[in-house]
Amino acid sequence: MKDHFRIEKGPLPTSGPFFIGILNITPDSFSDGGQFLTPGRALAQARKLAASGAEMFDLGAESTRPRATAVAPVEEWARLEPVVALLQEHLPGIPLSLDTRNAGVAAKGLDAGISVLNDVTGFSDPAMLELAKGSDCGLIAMRSRMKDASFRMPDYSDPSSRNPDLAHSELRDVLERLLNAGIARQRIVLDPGFGFGTTFQEDSALWHSLPKLPALLSWPQEQFCIGISRKRFLAWRNGTPELAPRDRDGLTSAAHQEAESMGYRVFRTHEMA
């Protein structure tokens, strides 16, 4: 039996890896858009992930890839609601995380029994922050520069794109935002945000900084979530930049093992090794 601490409603490990299985209930996600859009297919994938060792599911109904089409909150929840109900009926022992940036959707998720809110914008929306503050759920907070459709990737030739200092500062800002709101430390898990407004060079520098990141932020390694699954960074560093996302699962598994050797414990993944 694993030794767990709790981000309130969601258990996470102090020893051994903890895998959060990604369920994209979207038509346009970068690696598996449309595959699990129907509740039945989402449930089948959840069963597969659980059988392979996933201990939490992260449900997202709006793609967060660059230049993705925004989804109205009413449509986002319409995609999520039947899947949440099915998972709670058929896999009741596995907690659910909700990947959303919309406070209205997050509130409906909490009412429906969601255990964790995963916000790729780091709870930068005051309404999301207020909702987090007023609840007792776990929080996964990501560093991201991709706040709206006007975002443009930085210049690869810019020397600053090879330095992780800006990403570190942005992640520190996310943490301070939550702590300054009075949110208990044990509720917070930080996601460095690989691929979210970073170049390959910056992702590489951020990856190589992982051994010192906990000390830089004064934050325990077991309260970081490494979201590297199928990211283009893995293909670039492998020398195969054109490798399709679904063909990157082996690279993902190797990266998880590498991060685990550094002391990291929590991983979001599309497929279990």
Residues linked to residue 142 through DSSP beta bridges, in sequence order: 191
Q: For residue 135, what is the DSSP state?
A: S
Q: Say whether pLDDT at 118 is over 90.
A: yes
8 A C-beta contact, residue 19 and residue 54? yes
| Domains identified in the chain, total number | 1
Query: Apex CA 46: angle with CA 42 and CA 48, to 5°?
Result: 120
The pTM of this model reads: 0.91
Return the amino acid letter for 147. K
8 A C-beta contact, residue 230 and residue 252? yes
- CATH number for the domain spanning 61: value is 3.20.20.20
Compute the distance between CA of residue 80 and CA of residue 191 in angstroms, rounded to an integer: 23
Q: How is residue 206 written in tokens?
A: 């951020």
pLDDT band at 149 (very low <50, low <70, confident <90, very high): very low
Q: CB count, 10 Å around CB of 93?
A: 6
What distance lies between CA 201 and its chain's CA centroid?
21
Q: How is residue 219 written in tokens?
A: 């934050």
Q: What's the pLDDT tens digit per position in 215-254?
A: 999 999 999 999 999 999 999 999 999 999 999 999 999 9
Q: What's the pLDDT tens digit per position in 187-201?
A: 999 999 998 888 888
8 A C-beta contact, residue 101 and residue 121? yes
For residue 107, give its domain range: 4-149+158-269
Which residue from 168, 178, 176, 186 is spatially nearest to 222, judged by alpha carbons? 186
Q: What is the DSSP string of 33-94?
A: TTTT-SHHHHHHHHHHHHHTT--EEEEESS--STTPPP--HHHHHHHHHHHHHHHHHH-TTS
Q: For residue 222, what is the DSSP state?
A: G
pLDDT for res 1:
35
